[in-house]
């Protein structure tokens, strides 16, 4: 078993690298030098997350262009579930620090579905999703430094509990 590299080779480090370049500080270590040196200093950056795209998929014949432009591999957070890694993007912290450790979380005697924000008994969770992740999150820290964060997501998610968990402090635009 190989553990994720949170010291310079992970998704959390990519977020920290960009935050450090834009603001001068970040709560997590930046990228290792070989990867960090592959992209230039800039006044803005764009993150594009392809959910489920890993090294194995890059071996597919239709992915040759993506593979050819690849400059290095980054570890996702553990667990590799979508809500865990989007929370890492939203906070710039590994799961052990942001607290969203899995798609389903045990809360007292119930289990919380972190996408739809309901408990295993079918009831809505009474925890405000906007307060679940640590503050300030990445968007709030960047806004404090004068940066603007714009997130896009499917229109169906606009205003959803997951939307509230991830994008506090961001301008969120729905796409069809």
The predicted pLDDT at position 138 comes to 96
Q: Looking at the domain assignment, is residue 57 inside a domain? A: yes
Q: Looking at the domain assignment, is residue 4 inside a domain? A: no
CA dist 9 and 163 (Å) reads: 27
Nearest to 28 by CA among 5, 62, 51, 45: 5
Q: Looking at the domain assignment, is residue 113 inside a domain? A: yes
| Residue span of the structural domain in which 64 resides | 11-175
Place of tokens 């509990």: 161
Counts of helices then strands in the chain (DSSP H, E): 8, 5
Q: Looking at the domain assignment, is residue 1 inside a domain? A: no
Beta strand 150-154 with 171-175 is parallel
CA dist 14 and 3 (Å) reads: 17
The predicted pLDDT at position 71 comes to 87
Please report, in angstroms and rounded to a whole number, the separation of the first and last CA atoms in the chain. Answer: 39
Per-residue pLDDT 10s for the chain (176 aa) are 789 999 999 999 999 999 999 999 999 999 999 999 998 999 999 999 888 888 889 999 999 999 999 888 899 999 889 999 999 999 999 999 999 999 999 999 999 999 999 999 999 999 999 999 998 999 999 999 999 999 999 999 999 999 999 999 999 999 99
The number of distinct structural domains making up the chain is: 1
Q: Looking at the domain assignment, is residue 109 inside a domain? A: yes
Nearest to 95 by CA among 78, 116, 75, 112: 78
Q: Looking at the domain assignment, is residue 76 inside a domain? A: yes
The predicted pLDDT at position 76 comes to 92
Q: Looking at the domain assignment, is residue 31 inside a domain? A: yes
The DSSP line for 73-123 is --BPPSS--HHHHHHHHHHSS-HHHH---SSEEEETTEEEETTTTEETTSP
DSSP assigned state of 159? T
Helix (H) / strand (E) element for 162: namely helix 161-166
Q: Looking at the domain assignment, is residue 6 inside a domain? A: no
């Amino acid at each position: 078993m190989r553990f994720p590299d949170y010291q310079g080779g992970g998704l959390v480090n990519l977020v920290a690298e960009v935050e450090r370049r834009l603001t001068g500080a970040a709560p997590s270590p930046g990228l290792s030098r070989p990867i960090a040196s592959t992209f230039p200093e800039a006044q803005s950056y764009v993150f594009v997350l392809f959910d489920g795209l890993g090294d194995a998929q890059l071996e597919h014949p239709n992915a040759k262009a993506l593979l050819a432009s690849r400059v290095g591999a980054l570890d996702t957070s553990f667990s590799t579930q979508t809500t865990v890694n989007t929370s890492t993007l939203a906070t710039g912290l590994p799961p052990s620090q942001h607290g969203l450790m899995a798609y389903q979380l045990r809360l007292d005697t119930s289990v919380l579905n972190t996408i739809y924000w309901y408990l295993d008994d079918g009831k809505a969770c009474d925890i405000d999703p906007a307060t679940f992740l640590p503050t300030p999150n990445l968007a709030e820290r960047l806004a404090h430094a004068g940066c603007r964060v714009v997130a896009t997501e499917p229109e169906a998610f606009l205003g959803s509990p997951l939307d509230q968990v991830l994008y506090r402090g961001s301008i969120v635009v729905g796409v069809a």
